[in-house]
Amino acid sequence: MKTTLTFVLVAFAGFGLAAHSQAVAQEATMPYDPAYAAEVIRPGSVAQQPNPAPGNFQAQAPGATAQPVAQNHATGGDPLIDNGLWEGAPAELGCSICGDGNCAPAEWYTEQDVRILNRSRAGRAVISTDYNESDAAYEILNTHSVTPDISAAYGLTIGHHFARDTRNNDHFVEFSFWGLNDWSDSATVYGHRMTDTTTSPDTTHGSLNSMYYYVPGGSSLLGFNNADMQRIEYTSATNNFEVNGRFTSRNRADRLVLDPSGRWRKECRPGMHMTYLYGVRYLQINEGFRFHSESEIDTLDDDDVVTSEKHYTGDYDISTHNNLIGLQVGAEMMFHKCRWAWGVRSKIGPYVNFSDQVSDITSGRALDPGYIRRIAGSKHTASLIGEVGFETTYKFRPNLVGRAGYDFMWVTGVATAPGQLQFQPEPVNTVNSGSLAFFQGVTLGLEWLW
């Protein structure tokens, strides 16, 4: 069932992308609308000339009519056109990247980035208690005792411009990945020795007790109770894959200004720019949780001398897997200057989470555990992934752009490893996938276009 549903979702998304690409490619063969031609400005005049093409006009004396000339293919553009911001860059490249002109954008682009991410803690659950000097129990370990800190993730995006439609929209297809990161934290506590005079002979043991101690029959799990040391460990890892289509409209054309020196100069036209996204996404969240306990029970004689020692251990190991696949839509609103741009981006979509968990529980003597349990389960549930972020970019060169952003991501319906804890002598095979995972952090990257 899991494999079939995954195949259907991927096939549906791929068919939709292919159908849309074919429709756009057909539109791209229609006649071009001349309304998007570059604006030409000469000294002493603010009138627009009809349909000039950058790189195809010969500069004349002020007030004269510009005459078409042949392109200089050796340099990639007319040498009489000054790219202004990008000295020596071809006219085509400067027009498409510097501003929002009518020239075609770069055919390919790639972005390499580093994401410094922080993730939320699992839901709070008590794990063990200790005794104070008044022999009153108090909480000493819970699932919030371990806090996943920041972790660095690697990100990669590869995109291709494949068509422009008659509505002056550019269409792209891109693949994105980020991941190869993991979070981990641990916490260790130590108890003190206590004497039990209700037994005959008297015994001494540690003061730490797990939550097993407080359920019927749980006090017999000596590896988890009357302990001298207890430790918890938490790990989490994430990988994200996306295949998206993007389309964005071209804003007003770049200005083509004739200087008194007789050279044409391009000027970018600042303004707001909208980009829209649709595609399929696969997100993987794998987690592990371990609760380890060590106990020593000593028997005393009448002179309080230790006559025997018994060592017990308890281990509760949990691993969970979350595989979320679904469709998403998104939008990006950017405010462009010549070199700088800043704005906000967002994505949201429904997903199916194929989750599972395996828990192994043992308690007793190291070579002869008296209590062994394995519980496992799997399920698929509806989930939702939402993202919002803030971004700024800076053009170092026409084909090299620096990016910095801060992003937030929410994932519902997640099976966390600590969320599977069951302090019952007879646990049930089930998966608790009702948790929320929240991620936030900084993204720093470079984009290269060609």
Q: Shortest CA distance to 375 belongs to which of 355, 360, 394, 391?
A: 360
Asked whether the predicted pLDDT for residue 1 surpasses 90, the reply is no
- Could you identify the residue written with the tokens 């308890």? 314
Lookup result for tokens 């580093």: 114
Q: Are 203 and 297 in contact (CB under 8 A)?
A: yes
Q: Quote the pLDDT of residue 103.
A: 56
Asked, as a colleague might, if the bond just before 350 is cis with ω within 30 of 0, I would say no
- Which amino acid is present at 431? V
Q: Which residues are within 8 A (CB) of 287 and not within 5 positions of it... i.e. 6 or more apart?
A: 234, 235, 236, 237, 319, 320, 322, 416, 417
Gap between the terminal Cα atoms of the chain: 43
Q: At 357, list the tokens.
A: 């968990």
Lowest mean pLDDT among 239-243, 300-304, 437-441: 300-304
Residue spans of beta strands (DSSP E) within 42-122? 81-82, 108-119
> Cα 137 from chain centroid?
41
Tens digits of per-residue pLDDT, 270-282? Answer: 888 899 999 999 9
Looking at residues 421-440, what average pLDDT do you find?
A: 94
pLDDT > 70? residue 20: no
| Residue 356 pLDDT class (50, 70, 90 cuts) | very high
Task: Kindly report the number of other CB atoms within 10 A of residue 243's CB atom.
Answer: 16
Collapsed DSSP state (helix, strand, coil) of residue 429:
coil
Of 265, 290, 96, 324, the closest CA to residue 184 belongs to: 290
Q: What is the mean pLDDT of residues 374-396?
A: 95
List for the chain the helix, strand, coil content (%; round to 5).
10, 55, 30
Cα separation, 330 vs 247, whole angstroms: 11
Distance of CA 48 to the CA centre of its chain: 46
Listed residue (171, 192, 174) closest to 244, CA to CA: 174
Phi, psi of 247 (to 5 degrees): -140, 140
**pTM higher than 0.85:** no
Alpha carbon 199 to chain centroid distance?
Answer: 56
How many angstroms separate the CA atoms of 277 and 347, rounded? Answer: 8
CA distance 222 to 293: 9
pLDDT at 12 over 80: no
Question: How many CB atoms sit inside 10 A of residue 85's CB?
Answer: 19
